[in-house]
Amino acid sequence: MSKITVAESAGFCFGVDRAVKMVYSELEKGTKVATLGPIIHNQDVVSDMKAKGARIVENVDELLPDETVVIRSHGVGREVYDAIEAKGSRMLDATCPFVDRIHKIVADKTREGYFILIAGDKNHPEVQGIIGHCDKNYCVFKDKFELNDFFEKNYKKLQKKVAIVAQTTYNIVVWGECLNVIPKNDPDVVIFETICNATDTRQTDAAELAKKSDIMLVVGGKHSSNTVKLYEVCSRYCKTFHIENSDELLNLKLPTAERIGITAGASTPAYIIKEVQTKMAENENLTNQNEDFDFAQAIDESFKKIHTGEKVKGTVVAVNNTEAIVDLGTKHTGYVALDDLTDDATKKPSDIVSVGDEIELVVIKVNDAEGTATLSKRKVDEQLGYEKIMKAKEEDAVLEGTIQHVVNKGVTLNLYGVRIFIPASQTGLPRGAELEQLLKKKVQFKLIEVTEGKRRAVGSIKAVQQEQREAAKAEFWESAEIGKKYTGKVKSLTSFGAFVDLGGIDGMVHISELSWKRIKHPSEVVNVGDTLEVYIKDLNKEENRISLGYKKEEDNPWEIFKANYNVGDVVKVTIVSITSFGAFARIIDGVDGLIHISQIADTKVENVKDYLSVGDEVDVKIIDIDTESKRISISMRALLDTENGEDEAAEDDAE
Instruction: Answer for the pair 116, 137: CB distance below 8 angstroms, yes or no.
Output: yes
Query: Which residues touch 632 (CB under 8 Å, ≥6 apart)?
Result: 561, 587, 591, 592, 593, 594, 622, 624, 625, 626
Q: Nearest CA to 319 among 343, 346, 338?
A: 338
Query: Which residues touch 442 (CB under 8 Å, ≥6 apart)?
Result: 400, 401, 402
Partners of 413 in beta bridges: 403, 420
Residue 199 to residue 15: CA distance in whole angstroms: 11
322: DSSP letter: S
Residue 584 to residue 616: CA distance in whole angstroms: 11
254: DSSP letter: P
Partners of 311 in beta bridges: 362
User: Which secondary-structure segment (H or E) carries 86?
Assistant: helix 78-87
CA 372 to chain centre: 29
Q: Nearest CA to 182 among 190, 174, 194?
A: 190
Classified as helix, coil or strand, 648 is helix
Neighbours of 146 (CB within 10 A): 15
Residue 226 to residue 221: CA distance in whole angstroms: 9
554 residue type, one letter: E
Residue 640 to residue 364: CA distance in whole angstroms: 106
CA 177 to chain centre: 37
Q: Is 395 a catalytic residue?
A: no
Mode of pairing for the β-strands spanning 215-219 and 162-166: unpaired
Residue 72 to residue 129: CA distance in whole angstroms: 10
Classified as helix, coil or strand, 514 is coil
Listed as own residue / partner, the contacts of 403-407 with beta carbons closer than 8 Å and 24 or more positions apart are: 403/438, 403/439, 403/440, 403/441, 403/443, 404/344, 404/439, 404/440, 405/439, 406/435, 406/436, 406/438, 406/439
What burial class does residue 440 get, using C-beta atoms within 10 Å of its C-beta: 0-12 exposed, 13-18 middle, 19+ buried? exposed
Query: Residues 58, 79, 126, 291: which is the catalytic one?
Result: 126
Instruction: Answer for the pair 167, 126: CB distance below 8 angstroms, yes or no.
Output: yes
Rounded to the nearest 5°, which phi and psi values hold at 474? -60, -45
Active-site positions read 126
